[in-house]
Structure 1
Amino acid sequence: MQLLFLVTLALFLGVTVTVPAQEKRVHRQHDLSDHDHDDAHSFQYDHEAFLGKEEAKTFDQLSPEESKERLGKIVERIDTDKDGFISHAELHKWIKHRQRRYIEENVDKHWKDYDQNKDGKIAWNEYKNTTYGFYMDEEFDDVDDKVSYRSMLSRDERRFKNADRDGDGIATREEFTAFLHPEEFDYMKDIVIQETIEDIDKNGDKKIDLQEYIGDMFNAEDGENEPDWVTTEKKHFLEIRDVNKDGFLDASEVAQWILPGEVDHADNEAKHLIHETDKDNDGRLSISEILDRMDFIKVSTITDYGTLVVDNHDEL
């Protein structure tokens, strides 16, 4: 079960400026999809990996004929050597490109809201004033959940300072990207781990026990049976996550869980897509092979077609 980003400040009433969706939690595989990679039940992970998260939603609304037409245009973009086939290298490059584009577009969307003086940088005060505005001056007295609001301000400030590498209180574009997407930057890994523990740790002991681990993903309603995947997650906690077998996940174990080394998810997804789609086993995909697996491909990361149809410049 993927870690979800925590609720955004936009969920709290009373913010003077509508706050763009701000990620407060870090996905273990945030870069490709929010869904589990489980082809036995759904191809949604692969769908978002091929198409991109937002565009995948639009793709599902197209007719089969429209889907094939747009998918054909995407295949042409991926096939950079124009030999009529998509190789592993081309597919890997495309998926990495979609990852980068998602982050760039997300930063672009937020940038204009926060760079109030239009100097190409975002100071902490600009971010703070835009996000919290009037209610910050009144110490959140008019906000129902003032404790949570103050906690989020403190958390934002801590993350901003960690992202601000030169400590001048002003974020360059790269530093602001690290603030919004800390999981993408090595120097932000400690803050990712700290925030994850804070979000799941309910008793404040700075560790995660089995009940907290499962409770972050599943809370049974009255009479509801526990799904099989919960049993599997409990086994993973006991046998894999809890390395020292003390019944808790500490910071180092959380790091191994959510930041499991330099795993190239784009490379793994490219291999997976070729394995599932390559009928003649020649290690590459033809347009006919791709179109024959529309059910699989259209629920994958490659397609991100929504912007491709209106985008005429060479994205790669």
Structure 2
Amino acid sequence: MAWQKMLYSCCLLTVCLTSVLAKPPPDKKDRVHHGQDLSDHTHDDKQDFQYDHEAFLGKEEAKTFDQLSPEESKKRLGKIVDRIDRDGDGFVTQPELKNWIKHTQNRYIYENVDKNWKDYDKNNDGHIAWEEFKNTTYGYYEGEAFDDLENKETYKKMLARDERRFKTADKDGDMIATREEFTAFLHPEEFEYMKDVVVTETIEDIDKNGDGLVGVDEYLGDMYSPETGEPEPDWVKTERQQFLDFRDLNKDGKMDREEIGHWILPPDYDHAEVESKHLLFESDKDKDSKLSREEFIESYLRFLNEARSYNDVMKQLRPHQEL
């Protein structure tokens, strides 16, 4: 049935992360939300500018620009500068550059939202009401109608959980999601105001005795279900020690809400902040703490072109300067 397919899709989109593997390998389920690095390349300007290149464009888009001529690269860069310059004053500031870098790195999120938007905005009004989402995902099954389904309690819990998350994402409380609110619903770990609901859902997944806390056995049980008679793997012993040393901060034997939040949504190194300051410093020729279109174009090899040696790029950027 169509609603069942939609229900399955919803399961994949939520943060409902259940314990699943009997003998997990090293790539076991990780609940921790890790901030993305901006590139897989080493950030070393004397080697090449590939890190800056991918940070500015995103990894996939960078591959496209690598195939362009210098003239086409400069033309497209000019259009990108117009998009980065949100206030339209003709200059790009460090905060605007940071926001652009974060946008390019989160492109996969926006693509996911775009894909799902078409499924849920049934009346094409540019918003998604809770009723649209609920009816598309669960059909018209609710109340006693759930009694006709297998695993009806699971479906009821999923519906209640989605409704709670939708209400949290819906800042103005009208139960009609804007695109930003729907993005927060699908990807709550990316939004500070959604942190509490992510913690709540994590506790519901792991807390087996219902005390609202997560003990070491519940923590390990989320990742590992031992087979009868098998010795505890080394990685499980390591995770047990991690819990004692770093998860249970107040050493009371359990993780409370604050400790769980610190675990799954840790304070992160702000890659976009650091990279935007680096790009501004290196490209700001008149040192006025902002970049003009001309400064962007002059430094286009740093932003757009394929990896080259430092000296080769500098010769093109500053052809008359002795290196």
> TM-score range with shorter-chain normalisation?
0.5 to 0.7
Answering whether residue 246 of structure 2 is matched by residue 240 of structure 1, we say yes
CA contact (8 A) 2:66 2:306 kept: no
Offset at residue 249 of structure 1 (A): 0.3
How far, CA to CA, are the matches of 2:63 and 2:107 in structure 1? 20
Alignment of 1:71-90 (within 5 A): 73=64
Structure 1 residues 30 and 112 mapped into 2: Cα distance closer, same or farther (>3 Å)?
farther
1:280: which partner in 2? none
Answering whether residue 13 of structure 2 is matched by residue 22 of structure 1, we say yes
Structure 1 residues 138 and 244 mapped into 2: Cα distance closer, same or farther (>3 Å)?
same
2:154: which partner in 1? 148
- Residue range with higher mean Cα deviation, 171-180 or 132-141: 132-141
2:223: which partner in 1? 217
Structure 1 residues 120 and 287 mapped into 2: Cα distance closer, same or farther (>3 Å)?
same
Q: How far does the alpha carbon of each residue in 1:90-121 deviate from its partner, in whole angstroms, 9 at most, with x for none?
A: xx999745531111011111111111111000
Matching residue within 181, 186, 189 for 1:180: 186
How far, CA to CA, are the matches of 2:267 and 2:155 in structure 1? 34
**Secondary structure, in 3 states, of the residue corresponding to 1:202?**
coil
Offset at residue 184 of structure 1 (A): 1.1
CA contact (8 A) 2:14 2:186 kept: yes
CA contact (8 A) 2:6 2:138 kept: no
1:122: which partner in 2? 128
Q: Which runs of 5+ in 2 are unaligned?
A: 18-30, 38-53, 75-93, 276-304, 310-323
Offset at residue 224 of structure 1 (A): 3.8
Offset at residue 267 of structure 1 (A): 7.7
CA contact (8 A) 2:113 2:186 kept: yes
How far, CA to CA, are the matches of 1:74 and 1:138 in structure 2? 56
Matching residue within 249, 255, 280 for 1:249: 255
**Secondary structure, in 3 states, of the residue corresponding to 1:139?**
helix
The amino acid that maps onto 1:144 is E
CA contact (8 A) 1:15 1:135 kept: no
* Identical-residue share of aligned pairs (%): 54
1:314: which partner in 2? none
How far, CA to CA, are the matches of 2:163 and 2:62 in structure 1? 43
Offset at residue 169 of structure 1 (A): 1.2
How far, CA to CA, are the matches of 2:160 and 2:99 in structure 1? 38
CA contact (8 A) 2:15 2:198 kept: no
**Secondary structure, in 3 states, of the residue corresponding to 2:202?**
helix
CA contact (8 A) 1:200 1:208 kept: yes
Structure 1 residues 156 and 165 mapped into 2: Cα distance closer, same or farther (>3 Å)?
same
CA contact (8 A) 1:17 1:130 kept: no
Alignment of 1:51-70 (within 5 A): none
CA RMSD of aligned residues (A): 3.8
Matching residue within 124, 132, 142 for 1:136: 142
1:198: which partner in 2? 204
How far, CA to CA, are the matches of 2:263 and 2:65 in structure 1? 34
How far, CA to CA, are the matches of 1:98 and 1:30 in structure 2? 17
The amino acid that maps onto 2:14 is E
Q: How far does the alpha carbon of each residue in 1:203-254 deviate from its partner, in whole angstroms, 9 at most, with x for none?
A: 1111000011011111222344433221111111001110111110000110
2:116: which partner in 1? 110
Q: Under a length normalisation based on structure 2, what TM-score does the superposition of the two structures give?
A: 0.59
How far, CA to CA, are the matches of 2:272 and 2:65 in structure 1? 17
Offset at residue 176 of structure 1 (A): 0.6
CA contact (8 A) 1:16 1:134 kept: no
- Residue range with higher mean Cα deviation, 98-107 or 160-169: 98-107
Structure 1 residues 215 and 94 mapped into 2: Cα distance closer, same or farther (>3 Å)?
farther
1:43: which partner in 2? none
How far, CA to CA, are the matches of 2:154 and 2:66 in structure 1? 47
CA contact (8 A) 1:72 1:287 kept: no
Structure 1 residues 212 and 185 mapped into 2: Cα distance closer, same or farther (>3 Å)?
same
Structure 1 residues 95 and 166 mapped into 2: Cα distance closer, same or farther (>3 Å)?
closer
In our comparison, the structure showing a higher alpha carbon Rg is 2
Structure 1 residues 14 and 212 mapped into 2: Cα distance closer, same or farther (>3 Å)?
farther
User: How many residues align structurally?
Assistant: 223
How far, CA to CA, are the matches of 1:129 and 1:206 in structure 2? 31
Q: Under a length normalisation based on structure 1, what TM-score does the superposition of the two structures give?
A: 0.60
Q: Which runs of 5+ in 1 are unaligned?
A: 1-12, 34-49, 57-69, 82-88, 270-284, 290-316
